[in-house]
Structure 1
Amino acid sequence: MTPETLFSLHGKTALVTGGATGIGRMAAEALVRAGARVLIASRKGDACEAVAAQLNALDAPGSAEGFAGDVGSAEGIDAIVADVKSRTETLDILMNNSGVTWGAPMGQFPHEAWEKVMNVNVAGVFDLTQKLLPMLMASAKDGDPARVINVGSVMGEIPMGDGAYSYSASKAAVMHLSKIMAKELAGYNVTVNSLAPGPFVSRMTAFATADEEKRAKVGSDVPLGRVGRDDDIAGCMLFLCGRGGAYVTGAIIPVSGGINVMSGHNIFEKAM
């Protein structure tokens, strides 16, 4: 087997939610470059269409198309499912990437911040997956399962809320839910894995990554000394969606530069 066939996604169809910006945009480009047909959905349909046009201009072996889609409500999810079914009969890859956050200090964190964030980040992931499951199951083949990739966060792995209490809790839920779904769907030849990213340049993190100086400051607190890059997401997607990931399910991939294993000082450091 050659590297080309190991990571090729020719003939595959993928849906990436929140694919117009940030990690979703990085993933969508990786999939297109690997030969997949990629459907990009987010609340801003015009942005998705613009990104699809940019990806189609790459002269890559795959293609992209964008449309509006909101995972924050049952009606919105039903509309996405209907749109996907109108565009394709098969779905090989689902990337649940859409997400929202909310930040406020303890004592000022509003109740509504829980409902909104959990609706999109957790309920949206579960409901969209279950409603697209028949399409994923129909596309699954022996030795080449359908793939679901859910986007969690390193903030859901270690206690570092930074005022984003509902976001951190929601991402912990996403990663635990991914393991539950992986266990239940393995018998249907569908793998479910999760990414747990650290800091990447995105609209959500623009307050901390908008320019090179800010990125350098944020990166200085990461064990590997930098913020994430497009290729870091691309490599994970090609592994999980390609032949290399065919025997992997229930995994949490820590794309966080080592933040996931930061644990503070050694217990006996002062005595050494």
Structure 2
Amino acid sequence: MNAPDLFSLRGRTALVTGGSRGIGRMIAEGFLAHGARVYISARKAEACDQAAHELAKYGHCISLPHDVSTVAGCQALADAYAGHETTLDILVNNAGAAWGEAFDAFPESGWDKVVDLNLKTPFFLTKALSGPLRAAARTRVGKIINISSTDGIGLNPQENYSYVASKAGLIHLTRRMALRLAQDNIAVSALAPGAFPSEMNRNARDHGPALSEHIPAKRIGTPEDIAGAAIFLASRAGDYVMGATLVVDGGVTQARAYR
């Protein structure tokens, strides 16, 4: 066993969508600290460029701003990545959206925006990047990490219909993709984060102490918590994990099941 290299990402390339803030940025920073060359993507170019500039103090980080909510946008990001690298070791499908509205008022636009980005994009972006992913997998196990949510496993009082449907669907899509891509030496897995402070989870960001009272671990998640889980899946340590969803939530999902 080569223990020092078990969690190392030295010599590997990674692309993290939604990498300019929140969970995506936490994962990108963790990858950089473990030696990966990291590319981050986000819809807003200025924010993406600024985040890459700030993350570059930890290692090689390049901004590739693109809107991946459409198949054309996914292909555009894949083409931009190809301008820098010929192989891709790790793809993190993190870009996502949420929409909350009462059942009787819930609009089609709130459905399509969320389901397209949260469920359709991970599939078609992976497909667009299949060439560099397969090329990297000729020498070691390639990695695809889909970012789902505990809301795809259990429910909370929020009326976020398209969000919970998309995140539950992504967990099952992860299983199906894993079964196929294992043939290409690519391991597909997912993370289901709980309460981490971000623009999408403003409750955790703005009301952490109050929210912590409802979490068995008695705190909200930290960058180390989600980055550590992603590093495990992305590194040699996670080579035999295929189709699984790792829940990182301080025990919330188990508490819901208990109640």
- TM-score, normalised via structure 1 length: 0.91
1:205 matches 2:205? no
Q: Runs of 4 or more off by more than 6 Å in structure 1?
A: none
Contact kept, 8 Å, 2:15 with 2:41, in 1: the verdict is yes
- TM-score, normalised via structure 2 length: 0.96
1:137 matches 2:130? no
1:148 matches 2:141? no
Query: Partner letter of residue 108 of structure 1?
Result: A
Q: Could you say which residue in structure 2 is the equivalent of 1:43?
A: 43
Q: Could you say which residue in structure 2 is the equivalent of 1:262?
A: 255
Secondary structure at the aligned position of 1:30 is classed as: helix
Question: What is the Cα deviation at residue 160 of structure 1?
Answer: 2.6
**Equivalent residues in 2 for 1:5-84 (5 A)?**
5-58=5-58, 62-84=59-81
Match of residue 250, structure 1, among 240, 243, 246 = 243
Question: What is the Cα deviation at residue 2 of structure 1?
Answer: 5.3
Do the aligned partners of residues 150 and 264 (structure 1) sit closer, same or farther apart at CA in structure 2, a change above 3 Å counting? Answer: closer
Question: What is the Cα deviation at residue 161 of structure 1?
Answer: 5.7
Contact kept, 8 Å, 1:22 with 1:201, in 2: the verdict is yes
Identity of aligned residues (%): 40
Question: For the residues of structure 2 that align with 1:105 and 1:29, how far apart are their CA atoms?
Answer: 37
Question: For the residues of structure 2 that align with 1:27 and 1:263, how far apart are their CA atoms?
Answer: 26
Question: For the residues of structure 1 that align with 2:196 and 2:149, how far apart are their CA atoms?
Answer: 11
Q: Could you say which residue in structure 1 is the equivalent of 2:219?
A: 226
Question: What is the Cα deviation at residue 256 of structure 1?
Answer: 1.0
1:119 matches 2:116? yes
Question: For the residues of structure 2 that align with 1:81 and 1:161, how far apart are their CA atoms?
Answer: 38
Question: What is the Cα deviation at residue 35 of structure 1?
Answer: 0.6
Contact kept, 8 Å, 2:191 with 2:245, in 1: the verdict is yes
Contact kept, 8 Å, 2:196 with 2:205, in 1: the verdict is no
Gap runs ≥5 in structure 1: 267-272
Question: For the residues of structure 2 that align with 1:5 and 1:55, how far apart are their CA atoms?
Answer: 23
Gap runs ≥5 in structure 2: none
Contact kept, 8 Å, 1:145 with 1:189, in 2: the verdict is yes
Question: For the residues of structure 2 that align with 1:178 and 1:13, how far apart are their CA atoms?
Answer: 21
Question: For the residues of structure 2 that align with 1:47 and 1:263, how far apart are their CA atoms?
Answer: 36
Secondary structure at the aligned position of 1:135 is classed as: helix
Determine which structure has more spread, i.e. the larger CA radius of gyration. 1
Question: What is the Cα deviation at residue 159 of structure 1?
Answer: 2.7
Question: For the residues of structure 1 that align with 2:65 and 2:199, how far apart are their CA atoms?
Answer: 18
Do the aligned partners of residues 227 and 90 (structure 1) sit closer, same or farther apart at CA in structure 2, a change above 3 Å counting? Answer: same
Secondary structure at the aligned position of 2:6 is classed as: helix
RMSD after superposition:
1.4
Secondary structure at the aligned position of 2:131 is classed as: helix
Query: Partner letter of residue 143 of structure 2?
Result: R
